[in-house]
Structure 1
Amino acid sequence: MWKWLHSYADPERAYKLSDKLLPWLAITAIILIGLGTIQGLLFTPVDYQQGESYRIIYIHVPAASMSMAAYMAMASCAFIGVVWQIKTADWAAASIAPIGAVMTFIALITGSAWGKPMWGTWWVWDARLTSELVQLFLYLGVIALYASYEDKVLAARAAGILAIVGVINVPIIKFSVEWWNSLHQPATIKITEESAMSSDMLYPLLINITGFGVLIGALTLVRFKNEILARNSMRLWVKDLAMNQGEK
């Protein structure tokens, strides 16, 4: 059943697939984020408790939720690379790490900006904020390990093991507001229950969350393509690709 997927362990096939998917993902991300952000910032009603300041959720919540999704994707690729020794999975993990780190940083910055008017301070060592900060350090650790070894196979093993171990932090981020007393508000989007937000506020948020996810996919493909080219620069198909690009 998985033979079709295993075939994309071949760098050339993985590059061609990424090249085909990238424009579609990029266009979709621009449309979704543009639509969700404009709707959320300009046309949703004012919150009766938080006023206009709540609108930062249309950036903060997508960045925070997708930072965790990106970490799980990175760890999954790292697991495949460690267990089945598939190099393209290692390259994918290395491609996701900086993007996930940026998303986590955006979540922390926007969360601090939101916390100032709500809590009266930029930062507290709240369970949710602290575990999100730990996630940023995990991303940076993966990036540092991948860059610190000249032997990229060894680098991928070390970075992959850290990424896999760090998965334990993801449920801590997700459920921290339920497990401990927290200043951070509980989840407003719920799968099994009715969401706490009204639909005219919720739909733009869901659009932006989807858009951020697609954006991560598009940016990952850009980096993934570069990783493939960097690791296969001496292959004939890469040389042919460079010659064809030079002729255009």
Structure 2
Amino acid sequence: MKNPGFFTRWFHRMASPVWFYQISGKLLPWLWVLFAVLLVTGLYGGLVTAPADYQQGDSFRIIYVHVPAAWMSMFVYMVMAVSGAIALIWRMKLAEMVMVSCAPIGAGFTFIALVTGSLWGKPMWGAWWVWDARLTAELILLFLYLGVIGLYSAIEDKRMASRAVAILALVGIVNIPIIHYSVEWWNTLHQGATVTKFDKPSIHIDMLIPLLLMAGAFKVFFAISLLLRTRNELLERELPRQWVKQLVEEKDG
């Protein structure tokens, strides 16, 4: 039998709760530093150095929170759905924990995207809320996250709850392309793509760079939150295990 490749070894190692707990603990301090650097430089660039928009004035600056939050609302759902698929196929407990840990974080990003969108929509559209295709699909995404959280909490057997949540997450993935392409598919009020047109982005470079820095900060914050929540979920599930008892004893001692 041939020796397993790097990806196979890494995949099986990721299934080890002990290895994940150790490696995540080493990564967290570096992620906090990276997050702080990206956040400070992104906010300074977006709020101080970026020029005012010629139509929207300074009110456009809400994009430095709204757009990264909207991107992350979809990205986190994809991570949750992929983790759910891995949990269903390979019965990997760590994937289950990652999946259920994603839901509250994704719900938070989605809520921020909806609230900041409403704050921007009032002066631009004259209304806090319109039943625009993208806004409605984003609201449905929030309900999907809340449904995952509620379903997981309602079932006492956490392995069974994880399988039920994984199925729900995979079914709900159909909403992601609807959110992304709704502006192209239907005539909506929502602004079309600006940053993702990489051949010629419809945004000035002085505005674009802080936006990308903020997007990076949001992604690193997601990684930090996911590791922390997964570590807590891991300790809660593995509490009877000897390695957790030793860890508690070391901290108490």
Both structures adopt the same fold (TM-score exceeding 0.5):
yes
**Aligned pair 1:246/2:244, yes or no?**
no
- Residue identity in the other structure for 1:182: T
The alpha-carbon deviation at position 31 of structure 1 amounts to 1.4
The alpha-carbon deviation at position 5 of structure 1 amounts to 1.7
Residue number in structure 2 paired with 1:85: 91
- Residue identity in the other structure for 1:63: A
Find the aligned partners of 2:197 and 2:99 in 1 and give their Cα distance.
Answer: 28
Find the aligned partners of 2:79 and 2:29 in 1 and give their Cα distance.
Answer: 21
1:21-63: CA deviation from partner (whole Å, max 9, x where unpaired) = 1111122112111210121012210100001100000000000
Residue number in structure 1 paired with 2:135: 129
Find the aligned partners of 1:145 and 1:154 in 2 and give their Cα distance.
Answer: 11
Stretches of structure 2 that go unaligned for 5 or more consecutive residues are: none
Residue number in structure 2 paired with 1:44: 50
Number of equivalenced pairs: 247
Residue number in structure 1 paired with 2:204: 198
1:29 to 32, 35, 46: 35
Stretch deviating more after TM superposition (2-11 or 235-244): 2-11
Stretch deviating more after TM superposition (217-226 or 4-13): 4-13
TM-score (norm 1): 0.97
Counterparts of 1:91-170 in structure 2, within 5 Å, are: 91-170=97-176
- Residue identity in the other structure for 1:214: V
Stretches of structure 1 that go unaligned for 5 or more consecutive residues are: none
Find the aligned partners of 1:178 and 1:119 in 2 and give their Cα distance.
Answer: 19
Find the aligned partners of 1:113 and 1:91 in 2 and give their Cα distance.
Answer: 34
The alpha-carbon deviation at position 190 of structure 1 amounts to 2.0
1:61 to 61, 67, 81: 67
- Residue identity in the other structure for 2:225: L
Q: Which consecutive segments of 4 or more residues in structure 1 shift more than 6 A? A: none
Find the aligned partners of 2:23 and 2:197 in 1 and give their Cα distance.
Answer: 33
The Cα RMSD (Å) is 0.9
